Amino acid sequence: MNNIVTVNQVTKTYGGQNEKTYQALKGISFDVQKGEFVGIMGASGSGKTTLLNILSTLDTASSGQVTIDNQEITQLKGNELADFRAKEIGFIFQDFNLLENLTARENIALPLSLQNVPASKINPAVAKIAQRLAITEILDNYPTQISGGQKQRVAAARALVSEPAILFGDEPTGALDSKSARDLLETMDDLNKNDQVSILLVTHDPFSASYCQRILFIKDGVISTQLQRGNQDRPTFYQEILTTLGTFEQ
Amino acid sequence: MLIKLALNGIKSRWKDYLVLFSGLVIASAIFYMFEALATNQNFIKQNTTISAAVIIFQLGSILLAIITLVYILYANSFLMTMRQRTYATYMMLGAKSGKIGQLIFMETLIIGVVATLIGIVVGTGLAYGVGTLLMQRMGGAIHSFQPLYPLAVFITLAFFMVLFLIAAIINRRQLLKQPILKLLHSSNTPTAIKHRPVVWLIEAIVGVLLLATGYWAMVHLGVLGLVLALVTIVLGSYFVFNALAIWVLSLLRNAKLASKGLNKFTIAQLTFRIHDYTRLLSMVSILFALALGAITVGMGYYNQIPLMADNAPDAYDAVVYNPTQAELRTINDLHVKSRSQYTFKTTSGAVYWNRSEFDKDPLLMVDPERSGLGDVTYVKADVAKMANPDTNEYLRLRDILLPDMRQRDSKVVTAAEFNRVGGPSYQVTALKVQNFRNDLPTIKALFNSQAKRFPQIKQDDGSYKYAFYTQLNGLFSGLEFMGFFLGIAFLAMLASCLMFKILSGAANDVQRYRMLRKVGARQKLLHQAIRREVGVLFLLPGILGVIHVLFGLRMFQAIMVQPYYKIWIPFSIFLVLYALYYLITTYLYRNIVLRK
Ligand SMILES: Nc1ncnc2c1ncn2[C@@H]1O[C@H](COP(=O)(O)OP(=O)(O)OP(=O)(O)O)[C@@H](O)[C@H]1O
Ligand SMILES: [Mg+2]
């Protein structure tokens, strides 16, 4: 089996017993293979963040199964959940989510500290990932002292330092200017191609999506279409995404 | 419409309001409780002969008022962190700023008035409870204490009205004068603290030197020293927190242990907090010392009473003349350490003692040369000297006579001579017990029964230990009572200040803790991080406060012989209360930052 993520008939209903309920996911199924770079697109309110929150164990599904790296995550509880988050997955958010009272280095080291990795192993690991993401220079700066693009790289470094099975991103380029966004995407592309990092990227933006190998379109809580990049070059794929979005919107 | 929105806002955060509200109630209750004592001149005059007590209470009132002011400002900023975003959003959506200003003004004032009124009721109950408790402990030595005292009600109401009026004005101004954007995004990003080891080192040394100067001055310079000490200790505490604590934290941050779990995060949080809280922490450490000092000195006097009674020239805990059957039974209830029996006969001009009785069982007396408070040495009286009026032995023998016979000549004669003397004969039973205070009720019964049979005892009852003890008790219980009141009131206020300061920063930590959870921190680790963070913030001023007290108590060596006697009791009481505040703060803080 080469699937890193398998999602099977997942539903999510918001609202409790005495409240108005809303079904955001209506039995969604798909999978991501090891080393794949998959994008998820869809209109606002279509359930992208909901899906990602379930995959990253921040929220629970109402029904269905999710398997990540051969572990059924809907069964995990308490400490298992926390440890799973610390070891198996990495994520980057639109708003960076760095701790502003820690330096970049300390931010990156945090997941390792949480796993009680000895200090002697933490420093080399941080140095290695920092070099990979070209942020060695700013490691001892605080988040307020670095640019948005750099912040997102630090966030990516933190997500990757524990060598997770998969990297999730929810609009990671959303708060970046186009130059920084392009840099980040190229880095992700590079990590995917050369380090075999599996990536699942949620985005609105067709340009960001064009870096993916496969794109899933969500509509009304299920996958409605998907697009394979195949051997196309990026600009051509970008055009195809735009066309699909055009027809999709109708 | 806006009022409805405002009420809705309160409903959605009623838990936070409950915290705020109960905090304000406690503040006004404590203030009232203290005022009920401080404004009652009758009480103070009747319960202590020390004229300084009135001044101590007035000073205490002023100090408490200042702390309350600081406290209300912190509680108010807690209120504002809850409200300003909501109100700013209304303003952004076009609500008239005048209307919003009115709303926040009213909200602050109403919360304040209601909390104060409830606080006075609670305070009356509190004063009643604490008063009764202490009165029991002191065996009815406290008089004229009135839990509901009109002047105190008035002062409390007036004082809090003024405070809340000020708070309301501040809130209104803050909301109207600040740009809306700033109100919306006022979660303060911690400023990175510059690494300045040399400056820290200098500041830390200066701080420690200032503290040392203060401690030295307190012990050696008297009143002038106290003023000097107050200044240098306040400054010293400030420097110690500002430099020493941050310096130590920055060292810890680079230590190996720091990379374990959430340690680094906790250190970073603390560095930021201590930097931000320097003034508050120094204030808390000083108040901590004042409060703990008040309780310790108060209790110290109380503990000192039996020691002082022991130090009276008379060695015996009870002296009984011609015991009746009932009195003998009472004596059997005592935990007797030694029991001596002597006989004397009286004639019109003289008193005769049987020498052989003293040869068998010598009279005990306190050796004035080798005795001090809490360290009494007893010696056996030399029988040969007992007949010589110039000796201490003669005087002590006289002391166990009935007061109306003490003017007569005491003669110690042989058994044969004694038998030949005519006149009424008396039996004296002189008792020592194991613990005077424990047997106090029995001794009291014995004394009263004797005083009824021999009314002349009342002529000079100070020579009987029970009566002497009662006099001392009346004198010093008032002091203990006041020490306790002052101490508890100060403690409650300072701990609440710390609590609200921490809680009003909690809103900004929500994001951080959420993030830690996302990164995979276990729930247990998050709880631990919170416990440690809040713990250090409580511990640091506590430790410094304890050091202040330990040095400060030396000042009392002039008026108290053993200021450190049984010091663990007030310290334990105090620490338990302080720990309680710590637990409450941790609980509330956790509920805020880990809220789902
Ligand atoms: N906590 C919640 N309670 C109730 N409904 C929710 C909650 N979170 C999301 N929803 C609803 O679920 C639906 C999907 O939301 P979701 O945040 O997943 O959308 P999205 O695809 O990420 O949108 P966007 O592109 O705008 O970020 C929306 O209709 C939203 O209103
Ligand atoms: Mg979203």
- Reported as a single tens digit per residue, the pLDDT across B259-296 is 788 888 888 888 888 877 888 888 888 888 888 888 88
> Do residues B9 and B146 share a domain?
yes
Q: How many CB pairs under 8 A join A and B?
A: 79
A216-A222-A223 Cα angle (round to 5)? 25
What is the average pLDDT value for chain B, to the nearest integer? 82
Cβ(A44) – ligand 1 distance below 6 Å: yes
Closest CA to B143 of B214, B40, B61: B40
Q: How far is CA B310 from CA B303, B337, B373, in A?
A: 12, 14, 8
List chain A residues with CB under 8 Å of B520.
Answer: 82-87, 111, 114
- Reported as a single tens digit per residue, the pLDDT across A190-243 is 889 988 889 999 998 899 999 999 999 998 888 988 989 888 888 999 999 898
A contact test, residue of B187, B193, B264 with most A CBs within 10 A: B264
> Do residues B60 and B142 share a domain?
yes
Asked whether B365 and B315 are in contact (CB, 8 A), the reply is yes
- CB-nearest to B521 from A56, A82, A158 is A82
Tell me, what amino acid is at B513? Y
> Do residues B485 and B590 share a domain?
yes
Ligand closest to A218 (CA) is: 1
pLDDT on residue A51: 92
pLDDT-based confidence at A248, cuts 50/70/90? low
> Do residues B482 and B365 share a domain?
no
Residue A24 maps to a domain: no
> Do residues B385 and B248 share a domain?
no
Number of domains in chain A: 1
- CB-nearest to A58 from B259, B518, B525 is B518
pLDDT-based confidence at A64, cuts 50/70/90? very high
Ligand closest to A204 (CA) is: 1
> Do residues B166 and B24 share a domain?
yes
pLDDT-based confidence at B54, cuts 50/70/90? low
Which residues hold their Cβ within 5 A of ligand 2, which is an ion? A 49
Per-residue pLDDT for B563 more than 80? no
Tokens of B38: 């401080």
pLDDT on residue B141: 58
Query: Within 13 Å of residue B37, how many CA atoms lie on the same side as its CB?
Result: 33
Cβ contacts of residue A248 below 8 Å, gap of 6+?
A217, A219, A224, A225
Closest CA to A25 of A40, A3, A5: A40
Cβ atoms within 10 Å of B8's Cβ, excluding its own: 11
Residue B283 maps to a domain: yes
Q: What is the pTM of this model?
A: 0.75
Asked whether B285 and B237 are in contact (CB, 8 A), the reply is yes
What is the DSSP-derived secondary structure letter of residue A101? Answer: T
Asked whether B323 and B427 are in contact (CB, 8 A), the reply is yes
Alpha helices in A133-177 (DSSP H): 148-160
Asked whether B33 and B131 are in contact (CB, 8 A), the reply is no
User: Which CATH number is A115's domain given?
Assistant: 3.40.50.300
Are A144 and B521 in contact (CB < 8 Å)?
no
List chain A residues with CB under 8 Å of B525.
Answer: 82, 114
Given 3-state DSSP classes, what are the helix, strand and coil percentages for chain A, each rounded to the nearest 5? 40, 25, 30
**Cα B222 from Cα B464, distance rounded (Å):** 36
Phi, psi of A92 (to 5 degrees): -125, 135
List chain B residues with CB under 8 Å of A101.
Answer: 190, 265, 268-269, 271-272, 512
Asked whether B286 and B234 are in contact (CB, 8 A), the reply is yes
Which helix (H) or strand (E) segment holds residue B48: the answer is none
Mean pLDDT of B436-463: 84
Cβ contacts of residue B324 below 8 Å, gap of 6+?
B449, B453
Lowest mean pLDDT among A184-193, B40-49, B392-401: B40-49
- Reported as a single tens digit per residue, the pLDDT across A125-164 is 999 999 988 899 999 998 888 888 899 889 999 998 988 8
**Cα A83 from Cα B218, distance rounded (Å):** 55
If you measure from the C-alpha of residue A68 to the centroid of ligand 2, how many angstroms do you get, rounded to a whole number?
21
> Do residues B163 and B290 share a domain?
no
pLDDT-based confidence at A40, cuts 50/70/90? very high
Q: How far is CA B272 from CA A22, A214, B82, B250, in A?
A: 42, 45, 21, 11
Cβ(A46) – ligand 1 distance below 6 Å: yes
Tell me, what amino acid is at B509? D
Residue A84 maps to a domain: yes
If you measure from the C-alpha of residue B189 to the centroid of ligand 2, how many angstroms do you get, rounded to a whole number?
25
Instruction: Let me know how long chain A is.
Output: 250
- Reported as a single tens digit per residue, the pLDDT across B318-332 is 888 898 998 889 888
- Reported as a single tens digit per residue, the pLDDT across B37-51 is 778 777 766 665 555
**Cα B275 from Cα B278, distance rounded (Å):** 6
Residue A86 maps to a domain: yes
What is the average pLDDT value for chain A, to the nearest integer? 88
Residue A23 maps to a domain: no
> Do residues B481 and B562 share a domain?
yes
> Do residues B299 and B360 share a domain?
no
Number of domains in chain B: 3
Asked whether B568 and B253 are in contact (CB, 8 A), the reply is no
Query: How are strands ordered across the β-sheet holding A63-68?
Result: A22-33, A3-14, A63-68, A71-72
> Do residues B332 and B445 share a domain?
yes
> Whole domain around residue B556: which residue ranges?
191-312+465-489+526-596
Closest CA to A85 of A139, A24, A158, A143: A158
Are A97 and B515 in contact (CB < 8 Å)?
yes
| Ligand 1 pocket, mutate which of A50, A170, A205 (most atoms under 8 A from CB) | A50
The gap from C-alpha B79 to its chain's centroid, in whole angstroms, comes to 30
**Cα B143 from Cα B152, distance rounded (Å):** 18
Task: Tell whether the torsion through CA atoms of B302, B306, B308 and B309 is positive or negative.
Answer: positive
> Do residues B288 and B344 share a domain?
no
Residue A243 maps to a domain: yes
> Whole domain around residue A170: which residue ranges?
31-46+78-249
What are the E-state strand segments in A164-242?
166-170, 198-202, 214-219, 222-228
pLDDT on residue B542: 92
> Do residues B451 and B342 share a domain?
yes
Residue A22 maps to a domain: no
Residue A8 maps to a domain: no
